[in-house]
Chains A and B, each alone.
Chain A
Amino acid sequence: MAGEALLRMREVRKTFGGTVALSGVDFDLNPGEVHAIIGENGAGKSTLMKILCGVYPMDGGSILVEGEPVRIQLPKDALALGINMIHQEFANFSKLSVAENVFVGRLPRKAGFPLALDSRDLLLRTAEVLGRLRLPIDPGARLDSLSVAQQQLVEVAKALSANLRILIMDEATSSLNLRESEQLFATIEALKVEGISVVYISHRLKEVMDIADRITVLRDGANVGTFPRGHIEEAAIIEAMLGRRLRAAVKKAATRGPTVFSVTGLSIPGKVRNLSFELHRGEILGITGLSGSGKELAIRGLYGLWPSRIERMECNGEQVSISHPSDGLSLGITYLAEERKNMSVFPQLTIRENASVLWMRSVWRRFVVSRRREREASLQSLRRVNVKMAGAESPVDSLSGGNQQKMLLARLLMVQPEIVILNDPTRGVDVGSKQEIYQIIYQLAREGVSIIMTSSEIPEVTALADRVIVMSKGHKIAELSDAEVTTDNVLALVTQAAAADEHG
């Protein structure tokens, strides 16, 4: 792809508070090009694109469109330049028609009657846009009669109907099945034909390698390389994404302790079917799969946070059941929820009060809380996970995301658990804290704590876990251990399973 670049971003910098999100990133986009950006959570992908869309102002750097410097300070500046974004969660009017959604805010009026909607013109123009994208969607259909995938394609049509030059897609396939993804890729091809450039953000390596003309890898807020298609191996991309530090983490030798916990026949109607596994002492067991595979629901069902049926559960050789988190705590099992803000942090309270939440249970019977003991126990636990804070009496909101996450680990560790369940332990955490959290998890396992974990990022599970259960469509399709635990193996298994589903 030679010729003049449509878009150049140069030395773009952005910091949030003290955290550097982007440290001088360059990014180019050619006309009619599909350019993928990949990287771990917190690598700066979304921040870079939000700057391009005028959601965040940049702290430094420049943006050039067709060689001309432009100022993008508000979303409307970006729209005026023909830059539009399809969000992971899109806002639309589900009770209105496809056509009304496509032209919302710009509905055609009848000549001479400024208040009268010209429905015929509206339907015709919508049909024209849908036709350009070769989408078999009825312009008059109500939006909520369409599948999520089709609604997403309507969003693309909406962007195209206004002067579109650059379309940004953020994790567009995360909720789509294979066939739906294929349809989306066909739509992207149709956009290319029209000369529209697409920035494609995804963590699905395979699909990125298939559709992107170029791939840019971000890590720790820096561009670590831009590669044309066909010039890079998947393994090299993963290496670039994760950096050296994670590879340096040595997998433990396979000395497997006794079984401390086992589950037979865990089922959640329509989501998880007959999942069984054992957990050994001091082991890190990963449960992985694509989104929608049931990995997160299985973990929630396990801890009584989602209605599930379990044939048999054993803890240290005794039959047990967990129908509520407090049952789990009584068995020495603690749980980290996947959403920090909604499910874990108590705003307005202090760091100490947040850390000691589970510990409180141990004094519930005694009723009166010893402040001295609470402070000592909290501080000890907070220091162990190296939470950076002004003091334990500061409000919890004063901690950065990464430090809040470490504080939550301190909360789990404060009650000396035997088993720790981690549901996406590094979601929304910066790269530095991520490494620290990995070290804490390793350390726990070395101390004999058994860990069950899942993550939205497959490489994270394969990097941490000694043994991995691979799930697809609610089924356990494989169990890998030790040297077999690689991202490549997991991805191969899930794509095979998905392909088999398509044909079967």
Chain B
Amino acid sequence: MKLQNLLRREAILAVFIVLFVICSFFVPSFFTARNLINILKQSAIIGLVVAGLTITVIAGNVDLSVGSVVSFAAVIALTYTHADLSQTNISMTAQEGRPLLALAFSLPFLMGAAVGLINGLIISRFQANSVIITLGALSAVRGGALLVAGGKVIYGVKNPVFAALGQAQLFTIPVYVFIFVAACIVLELLLRRTSFGRYVYLIGANLKAAIIAGVPVARVQILTFVISGLMAAFAALILVARLNTASGLIGNGWEFDAVTAVVIGGTSLLGGRGSVIKSFQGAILVTMIINAMVLLNIPSSYQYVAKALIILTAVLIDIRTRREAA
């Protein structure tokens, strides 16, 4: 009985462990330090987006603009790290680069927060459907990214401090993996231990009741979108530092992958239930499945179908458990 409860509560973890063991035995070169670190690296960056999105989804909304925010933030960041100096062909010293570096770090965050603020203001003010509003934002922000990038692919992070964000390692594991884990823990604590976090659950569980109970619904909703925007910008900075490149098309489709991870993590798209740690597990699970398919030389077209099957399974499980609870 207890085991059954534990399994139900930790379903994703259980699935993860089972698949991990299977892959380790049957997928060639899966269980190697290099590949496992690879899985972590691949999950970590989109994982930051997933972590932020989770909070928005628990509050009963969804933010589809995150993929575009990643690309806009990436373009802004890279533009300011190498700026016009690329034309003068003079490599910057760290000293000279400092003001630009400050902009490269802060502007993407400002933009992410601004997009979240606008999404949140519209959605909370009119109680509009977040799918439609953020779908609009997705398009507009993508346009902004393409505009700033001028349709080109920008190369080269010239600033060494910035580059370190993507390159530095600790025990052969990239530092940003640790940043990802830390961010998940911080956001989970925000949800579990603060009044803001509780309000997120209350609004997601029963919006009408939250309003009657005097919960500052608009403020909390806006804040959830600001958080998802900020986390998307954060992911973009690391992405740029790691890839050394940015374009208006980077981050394309990330909203889909992020929503997939959130749903697989057991966060209900109807709101009121979920956790960042579970989404974290969801993100790693999806990455691991795709990784195994790559190692097995399964064509990428099938990977898309696989993602669809994963999401379908997760939703069916969600409906099942919901029915049992009722």
Interface set of A (CB-CB < 8 Å, partner B): 305, 324-326, 328-329, 335, 337, 342-349, 353, 356-358, 360-361, 363-364, 366-369, 371, 395, 397, 411
Bound complex: CA A357 to CA B208 (Å):
13
Whether the Cβ atoms of B212 and A343 lie closer than 8 Å is yes
Whether the Cβ atoms of B214 and A395 lie closer than 8 Å is no
Contacts of B268 in A (CB 8 A): 348
Whether the Cβ atoms of A342 and B208 lie closer than 8 Å is yes
Contacts of B320 in A (CB 8 A): none
Whether the Cβ atoms of A349 and B195 lie closer than 8 Å is no
Q: A325-B211, A337-B212, A360-B198 are in contact. List 16 more A-B contacts (CB 8 A).
A: A325-B213, A329-B214, A343-B209, A346-B201, A346-B210, A347-B205, A347-B272, A348-B205, A349-B201, A358-B214, A361-B214, A363-B195, A367-B195, A368-B194, A369-B194, A411-B213
Whether the Cβ atoms of B209 and A349 lie closer than 8 Å is no
Is B193 part of the contact surface with A, judged by Cβ < 8 Å? yes
Chain A minimum-CB-distance residue to B274? A348
Whether the Cβ atoms of A367 and B196 lie closer than 8 Å is yes
Contacts of B325 in A (CB 8 A): 348, 395, 397
Is B170 part of the contact surface with A, judged by Cβ < 8 Å? no
Q: Give the Cβ gap from A104 to chain B, nearest Cβ, in Å.
A: 31
In chain B, residues 183-209, which have Cβ atoms closer than 8 Å to a Cβ of chain A? 193-196, 198-199, 201-202, 205-206, 208-209
Bound complex: CA A465 to CA B179 (Å):
61
Contacts of B242 in A (CB 8 A): none
Evaluate whether A344 and B209 lie within 8 angstroms (CB atoms) in the complex, with A325-B214, A349-B272 already known: yes
Contacts of B215 in A (CB 8 A): 357, 360
Contacts of A325 in B (CB 8 A): 211-214
Can you list 16 A-B contacts with CB-CB less than 8 angstroms, sorted by A residue number? Answer: A342-B208, A343-B212, A346-B272, A347-B272, A348-B205, A348-B272, A348-B273, A348-B325, A357-B202, A361-B214, A363-B195, A367-B194, A369-B193, A369-B194, A369-B195, A371-B193
Contacts of A356 in B (CB 8 A): 198
Q: Give the Cβ gap from B152 to chain A, nearest Cβ, in Å.
A: 44
Interface set of B (CB-CB < 8 Å, partner A): 193-196, 198-199, 201-202, 205-206, 208-216, 268, 272-273, 325-326
B202, B268, B326 pick with most chain A CB within 10 angstroms? B202
Chain A minimum-CB-distance residue to B189? A368
3 shortest interchain CB distances as A-B pairs: A326-B214, A325-B214, A346-B205
Bound complex: CA A305 to CA B196 (Å):
23
Q: Give the Cβ gap from B219 to chain A, nearest Cβ, in Å.
A: 10
Contacts of B216 in A (CB 8 A): 326, 364
Q: Give the Cβ gap from A323 to chain B, nearest Cβ, in Å.
A: 12
Whether the Cβ atoms of B211 and A353 lie closer than 8 Å is no
A324, A348, A363, A411 pick with most chain B CB within 10 angstroms? A348
Contacts of B202 in A (CB 8 A): 346, 349, 353, 357
Contacts of A324 in B (CB 8 A): 214
Bound complex: CA A347 to CA B208 (Å):
12
Bound complex: CA A335 to CA B201 (Å):
21
Bound complex: CA A361 to CA B196 (Å):
10
Contact of B212 among A335, A349, A366, A371 (CB under 8 A): A335
Q: Give the Cβ gap from B175 to chain A, nearest Cβ, in Å.
A: 28
Whether the Cβ atoms of A342 and B214 lie closer than 8 Å is no
Q: Give the Cβ gap from B158 to chain A, nearest Cβ, in Å.
A: 40
Bound complex: CA A395 to CA B215 (Å):
21
Bound complex: CA A360 to CA B210 (Å):
12
Whether the Cβ atoms of A360 and B193 lie closer than 8 Å is no
Bound complex: CA A369 to CA B196 (Å):
9
Q: Give the Cβ gap from B174 to chain A, nearest Cβ, in Å.
A: 31
Contacts of A397 in B (CB 8 A): 325-326
Bound complex: CA A356 to CA B216 (Å):
15
Contact of A353 among B198, B209, B210 (CB under 8 A): B198
Bound complex: CA A358 to CA B216 (Å):
11
Bound complex: CA A411 to CA B268 (Å):
26
Contact of A358 among B196, B211, B213 (CB under 8 A): B213
Bound complex: CA A324 to CA B202 (Å):
17
Whether the Cβ atoms of B206 and A369 lie closer than 8 Å is no
Contact of A346 among B194, B196, B209, B214 (CB under 8 A): B209
Bound complex: CA A371 to CA B198 (Å):
12
B202, B208, B212, B273 pick with most chain A CB within 10 angstroms? B212
Contacts of A366 in B (CB 8 A): 195
Bound complex: CA A172 to CA B201 (Å):
40
Bound complex: CA A305 to CA B211 (Å):
9
Contacts of B209 in A (CB 8 A): 337, 342-346
Evaluate whether A347 and B206 lie within 8 angstroms (CB atoms) in the complex, with A353-B201, A363-B195 already known: yes
Contacts of A364 in B (CB 8 A): 195, 216
Contacts of B195 in A (CB 8 A): 360-361, 363-364, 366-367, 369
Q: Give the Cβ gap from A338 to chain B, nearest Cβ, in Å.
A: 10
Bound complex: CA A324 to CA B219 (Å):
14
Contacts of B273 in A (CB 8 A): 348
Chain A minimum-CB-distance residue to B272? A348
Bound complex: CA A335 to CA B213 (Å):
8
Bound complex: CA A361 to CA B208 (Å):
17
Whether the Cβ atoms of B206 and A368 lie closer than 8 Å is no
Whether the Cβ atoms of A349 and B214 lie closer than 8 Å is no
Contacts of A335 in B (CB 8 A): 212
A335, A342, A360, A367 pick with most chain B CB within 10 angstroms? A360
Chain A minimum-CB-distance residue to B199? A360
Whether the Cβ atoms of B206 and A328 lie closer than 8 Å is no
Bound complex: CA A454 to CA B196 (Å):
33
Contacts of B211 in A (CB 8 A): 325
Bound complex: CA A212 to CA B104 (Å):
82
